[in-house]
Structure 1
Amino acid sequence: MSEDTFEMVAAALRTDIDTGGYPPGTYLPSGPKLAERFGVHRATIYRALEDLAAEGYVELERRRPALVRERPRERMVVRDRVVYRDEIGYFFDQNAKTWRPVKPPTHRIDSPPNHVADDLGTGRSENVLIRERIMGPPEAKRGLQLAISYLPLWLVAELPVVGGSNTGPGGIYDRIEEHFDQPIQWHETIVGRAPTSAEQDALVVPASASVLVITRAARVERDAQSLVVEVNETSMPAEQFAVSYAVARDESAAWSRQSS
């Protein structure tokens, strides 16, 4: 098989997808039909489709044609390092401020992942309250973000409303700030990794995809101690996520430089 041959096939299909010939959610023709169209062996077609799958253009399933995925730049979410607020409450993505749950949110009692337990300061086998939402634009039929909040049970005991289905205007963050009579301080960490099985199901991404995960810890002060009252993990397909922020100068990089 010529390297140029499958690359030319991939380029042609990529153009077809980019120009709307195969819209997101539709299937490409079958392997035999594509082989007939391009006059190549089916193995060449499958190699080209594997490249398109690696680039996020299509999803591959056994015994089914390739499914065209939503094109990344049409749903790009750009985050910065600022929290915003509107009439509904706090939000962290300007591009996603209108997003809503595409399925009813759920909450349950269970043990969190080890790294979340460590951030919360709970034992690794200790139960917490887990609130889960699959988010997307108002017209979306599938989720583009999986947002999971983990709250320690001592907080739920003090503030039962955060454990209910209706947390009131502003949600759990407003209830926490009212309870402690102070603003929440947030710290975020962003990592890239392969999706878990739950993320594959919620975001409709293949195991070969990558997700970016924002882990955000919410802190308050009590009796001169810093308490983590919630850890939120938001996952989304990596090709639909970007981080943009101003670069601050450290004192060592201050202008103007003094001549030595």
Structure 2
Amino acid sequence: MAGATQDRVTDALRRAIDAGEYPPGARLPSSEELAREYDVHRNTAQKAVRQLAAEGYVSITRRHPPVVRERPRHLTVVRDRSVYRDDIGYFFDKNAQDWRALAPPTRGLAVPPEHVADLLEVPRDQDVFARVRKMGPPSAKVAHQLATSYIPMALVAEIPSLGAADTGPGGIYDRLEEHFRAPLEWHETVSARQSNAEEQSALGVPASSPVLVVTREARIRRGDEVVVAEVNETRMAAAQFAVSYVVRRDQSAEWHGEEGAA
């Protein structure tokens, strides 16, 4: 019953925020006020507010009332197994085609996460070259995506422009295709996990918020060899984004209805 009571308060506050009764920057009533308004115990009101914070609706600071966060519209990140191109270069999400870096990208040496090192086929404790971008619509106050490109140092030595501040038209993907004289291929894996401190700061999410992680390998052929030239990890607030893709029929699942009807 206690959980159901907490859910009732959380649902009511969530609806009020979505309806604009508490706009971004507004303060929610105190736990005591919420307890009186919804006829619940103060602890129940506190738990309801903490749930809203976990969902990204409010920010909680010790000894201060909860503040309603500015929430980007819910955006479906379309991953339809297609890559697109415009006059700037390749992009992987039509909904984010107009997004740009909200601050100058950072670059330098970094030890990648272990699974990224394994994909790049480098030792787990070895530095690679990392390029980090905070992405979002031009009007965004916080990043909607945090994207990090990991590139093997041997490849940066071979193609110095991959480590340059300005990688030129089309970015690192055009430089790779020019160098190898071959088309890139990409493979993506989507997962979720709890956010870390860097992501919480960049995306403006609370410590309890999970992130959606898209890990993309960029592969290219060098003769008979397939090289993993880059691994990109894009992170976004899981409460604000979803993944959508087309489900395609395998040959084994082809429809034979018309033949059956005949």
Match of 2:144 in 1: 144
User: What SS class does the counterpart of residue 135 from structure 2 fall into?
Assistant: strand
Map of 1:201 onto structure 2: 201
Does 1:47 find its partner at 2:55? no
CA shift for structure 1 position 50: 2.6
Matched residue of 1:239: which SS? Answer: coil
Kindly state the Cα deviation for residue 9 of structure 1 after the two structures are TM-superposed: 3.0
CA distance in 2, matches of 1:2, 1:111: 46
Q: Deviations over 1:75-109 (max 9, x none)?
A: 44333221111111111111111111122110011
* 1:43-64, Cα deviation, whole Å (9 max, x unpaired): 2321221332344422333222
Structure 1 counterpart of 2:119: 119
- Give the TM-score normalised by the residue count of structure 1: 0.90
Listed one character per residue, the Cα deviations across residues 129-161 of structure 1 (whole Å, up to 9, x for unaligned) are 000001111101111111000001111111111
171-180 or 2-11, which moves further after superposition?
2-11
Aligned to 2:241: 241
Q: Deviations over 1:235-255 (max 9, x none)?
A: 001122222222122222122
8 A Cα contact 1:79 1:242, kept in partner? no
Q: C-alpha deviations, 1:192-225, integer Å up to 9, x for none?
A: 1111221112112122111110110001111300
Q: 1:11-59: CA deviations, max 9, x gaps?
A: 3322210111112343323333434544554323212213323444223
1:231, distance to aligned residue in structure 2 (A)? 0.4
Map 1:222-241; keep pairs closer than 5 Å. Answer: 222-241=222-241
- Cross-structure match for 2:60: 60
Q: Say if 1:14 and 1:52, in contact at 8 Å, map to a contact too.
A: yes
Q: Which amino acid aligns with 2:222?
A: R
Q: Verify the 8 A CA contact 1:76 1:239 in the aligned structure 2.
A: no
Equivalent residues of 1:212, 1:235 under 8 A apart: yes
- Corresponding residue for 1:252? 252
Unaligned runs of 5+ in 1: none
- Check whether the contact 2:134–2:145 (CA below 8 A) recurs between aligned residues: yes
Deviation at 1:6, TM superposition (A): 3.9
Report the counterpart of residue 21 of structure 1 in structure 2: 21
Q: Distance in 2 between matches of 1:182 and 1:15?
A: 52
TM-score (norm 2): 0.90
| One-letter amino acid of the structure 1 residue matched with residue 198 of structure 2 | A
With 99-108 and 6-15 compared, the bigger mean Cα shift is at: 6-15
Q: Tell me which amino acid in the other structure corresponds to 1:149.
A: S
* Corresponding residue number in structure 1 for 2:96: 96
SS at match of 1:149: strand
User: Are the counterparts in 1 of residues 200 and 207 from structure 2 also a CA contact under 8 Å?
Assistant: yes
Give the equivalent residue in structure 2 for 1:78.
Answer: 78
Distance in 1 between the 2:229 and 2:74 partners?
35
1:181 equivalent to 2:177? Answer no
Aligned length: 259
Q: Distance in 2 between matches of 1:18 and 1:26?
A: 13
Q: Secondary structure at the match of 1:232?
A: strand
CA apart distance, 1:4: 5.7
How far off is 1:66 after superposition?
1.7
Q: Give the C-alpha shift of residue 3 in structure 1.
A: 5.5
Which letter maps to 1:92? F
